[in-house]
Amino acid sequence: MDTRDRFMKLLPWISTPVMLALSLGVWTFLVRVVGVSEFILPAPRAVAESLGALLIDPEIWGHVRITLTEVLAGFAIALLLGVVGGAVLGRLPWLEVAVRPALVAAQVIPKVALIPLFVIWFGFGITSKVVVACILAFFPILLNVLLGVRSVDRGYRDVMRGLGASRWATFRDLELPSTLPHVFAGMEVAIVFSVIGAIVGEYLGGNEGLGYLVVVSLNALDSSKLFAVILLLATMGSVLFFAINGVKRFVIPWHESVTGRDIG
Amino acid sequence: MESQRLLDSQEQASAADPRDARVEARNDDSAGAAARPELELLAVDKTFQTRQGSTEALSDINLSVDRGEFISLLGRSGCGKTTLLRILAGLIAPTEGEVRVGDRSLWHGANRDSEALSKFGLVFQDPNLFPWFSIEDNIALPLKLRGVAKKARRARAEELCDLLGLSGFERSYPRELSGGMRQRAAIARALSYDPRILLMDEPFGALDAMTRDKMNLELQSISITTGATVVFVTHSITEAVFLADRVVLLSPRPGRIRSVVPVTFERPRALESESDSSFQEVVRTLRHELDEEGV
Ligand SMILES: Nc1ncnc2c1ncn2[C@@H]1O[C@H](COP(=O)(O)OP(=O)(O)OP(=O)(O)O)[C@@H](O)[C@H]1O
Ligand SMILES: [Mg+2]
């Protein structure tokens, strides 16, 4: 049992490189043997060279910084609004009932379709992208926090009530820790969404950021650079996600999503 | 070793008159004006309002529990045992009637008397340990709420872990413990501030028979050493009789006190006494009463 557990822990560290090597192999195979055109699928080597050139270019870091700023600002605002909103709605059932139709409507609307509107309202600068990133990130956080506040275990509540715990102590020792896993679940989804929001925002308007770079490469029909920028974006998304995951492991080490029992 | 000691004294006890000196002493006590009951329910009714209408869960409950007394609340599923215990604990308010703790009323309007509340130690059917706290922090939670310093809390938690056989698991999280260990931790939490009154709702309901026997012995010795008043909910007749000074039998729909059966064997009692004919006699009486209710 113990060795099996250890094996399960090691497995991703083995399987991930294997999968990477495998996809690289298929990629090379498609280019070399099948002979897919350079334009549709540039060779791994060409992409690596483009990436190298991109990383040396000092301009790239300006773009990275812009996109990162948009993502983080949007995410931070969404986190604040989402946590406060979720906590308030969780406490006031009548308010939740009142705003539920609006919430559902806002959920169902494809928010990406609204981006051109935001560009009109907030201009081609950074603001419109922050707004998009924020709106996309807001809903998963709000809904998770709402769920978290609602789902504080009744039995645990009885424990605190039976001890005559104060309002503040009940929050500190019960409500906060039992809601935190939901906050983190929301944040993990939200960070991915805000990256999407910022990039799509940059696709549609403006002249800076990694999304803009994607559009430029596309217009120049420079597909190896396009691939290189996409790789950069993927890396940025992963780093952000794992940063939040790391914070989660630190803040709620006791939770199942961290101890990994739920994966098996 | 402990159970051996218990066993010896039980054998002496069953040889003699089963009437317990402790019970008699208490009876003398309450005959005098000195002792007030520790816990009192006066004409308590409880009606729940639900979507389907109203359910009368308890009707006209009168019960007084003396200091140091061990009461078992026995009854079928749904007869209102949990409701009664929650009313005693101040978790819900009675619809009618009064709850008194010592010489104080538990409820003042919508507020609970904090001095009365502070006398209670609660153990629920589920351990209800907080998954974000270590066993130690769970046990010491009531002390934290009372503003006891961290060092003193830790010392007390360690002491209780020793008492309940949880040593070495102080820093573990609840999920790393077995069901029986969790339930013991829950009891340790209830004991952490030396409560005068222990209220327990089927705390051993989820345990296997052997662990349950062991826990019953432990609970008995705890109640003897701390001198706490205990109200213990169960639907096991044997468990009820083994532990109690008095068994209070509830009948369902609405929950009423059907009868109160005194159990007078000397303490400490040993598990073997469950096969004594006098013990079996009490069990039979109670079973008969339960059966009479019909199905
Ligand atoms: N919060 C509640 N709302 C509505 N009805 C309730 C509530 N709590 C209990 N009841 C009703 O009161 C009655 C007694 O319930 P209670 O939980 O006290 O029974 P119990 O004797 O503890 O049963 P068990 O042995 O199964 O735990 C039941 O009919 C139940 O449906
Ligand atoms: Mg019950």
What digits encode the pLDDT tens for the residues B255-270?
888 888 888 878 778 7
Distance in Å, alpha carbon of A162 to nearest chain B alpha carbon:
6
pLDDT band at B148 (very low <50, low <70, confident <90, very high): confident
Enumerate the domain spans of chain A.
Answer: 47-259
Task: Give the strand order in the sheet containing B96-101.
Answer: B53-65, B39-50, B96-101, B104-105
For the entire predicted model, the pTM comes to 0.79
With 60 as the cut, is the pLDDT of residue B294 above it? Answer: no
Count of other CB atoms within 10 angstroms of residue A46? 17
**pLDDT at residue B232, rounded to an integer:** 94
With 70 as the cut, is the pLDDT of residue B25 above it? Answer: no
Centroid of ligand 2 to alpha carbon of B235 (angstroms): 9
Kindly report, residue by residue over B11-21, the tens digit of the pLDDT: 444 444 433 44
What is the CATH number assigned to the segment(s) A47-259?
Answer: 1.10.3720.10
With 60 as the cut, is the pLDDT of residue B273 above it? Answer: yes
d(CA A126, CA B30): 81
Share of chain B above pLDDT 90, in %: 17
- For an interface test with B, give the residue of A151, A154, A156, A158 to mutate (most B CBs within 10 A): A158
Q: What is the DSSP pairing of strand B39-50 with strand B53-65?
A: antiparallel
**pLDDT at residue A113, rounded to an integer:** 85
CB contact under 8 A, B118 and A164: yes
Residue closest via CA to ligand 1's atom 14 equals: B80
Q: Give me B195's structure tokens.
A: 């409560």
**pLDDT at residue B189, rounded to an integer:** 93
Chain-centre distance for alpha carbon B140: 20
Kindly report, residue by residue over B163-215, the tens digit of the pLDDT: 888 888 888 999 888 888 898 899 889 989 888 899 999 888 877 888 788 88
**pLDDT at residue A22, rounded to an integer:** 94
Count of other CB atoms within 10 angstroms of residue B45? 17
- Lowest-pLDDT range, A108-122, B13-27, B234-248, B255-269? B13-27
CATH 3.40.50.300 fits B1-8+70-88+197-295, yes or no: yes
With 60 as the cut, is the pLDDT of residue B229 above it? Answer: yes
CA nearest to B120, candidates B137, B98, B145? B145
With 80 as the cut, is the pLDDT of residue B24 above it? Answer: no
Distance in Å, alpha carbon of A165 to nearest chain B alpha carbon:
7
**pLDDT at residue A263, rounded to an integer:** 41
pLDDT band at A222 (very low <50, low <70, confident <90, very high): confident
Ligand 1 contact, B81 CB (< 6 A): yes
Residues of chain B with CATH 3.40.50.300: 1-8+70-88+197-295
Kindly report, residue by residue over B39-77, the tens digit of the pLDDT: 888 888 888 888 888 888 888 888 898 888 999 999 888
What is the average pLDDT value for chain B, to the nearest integer? 81
Residue range A183-193: mean pLDDT, rounded: 93
- Lowest-pLDDT range, A258-262, B156-160, B251-255? A258-262
Taking a C-beta distance cutoff of 8 angstroms, is the pair B179, B201 a contact?
Answer: no
Identify residues of B whose CB sits under 8 angstroms from chain A CBs.
89-91, 112, 114, 117-118, 120, 122, 124, 126, 128, 130-133, 141-142, 144-145, 173, 175
**pLDDT at residue B20, rounded to an integer:** 43
**pLDDT at residue B23, rounded to an integer:** 43
With 90 as the cut, is the pLDDT of residue A192 above it? Answer: yes
Share of chain A above pLDDT 90, in %: 44
With 60 as the cut, is the pLDDT of residue A4 above it? Answer: yes
Q: What is the DSSP pairing of strand B70-74 with strand B229-234?
A: parallel
With 70 as the cut, is the pLDDT of residue B30 above it? Answer: no
Higher pLDDT: B57 or A154? It is A154
**pLDDT at residue A114, rounded to an integer:** 85
With 50 as the cut, is the pLDDT of residue B5 above it? Answer: no
**pLDDT at residue A188, rounded to an integer:** 93
Taking a C-beta distance cutoff of 8 angstroms, is the pair B191, B160 a contact?
Answer: yes
Higher pLDDT: A51 or B109? It is A51
Higher pLDDT: B10 or A77? It is A77
Residue of B nearest to A167 (CA): B145
The residues, ordered by sequence, that sit 6+ positions from B136 with a Cβ below 8 Å of its Cβ are B154, B157, B158, B161, B170, B171
**pLDDT at residue B108, rounded to an integer:** 83
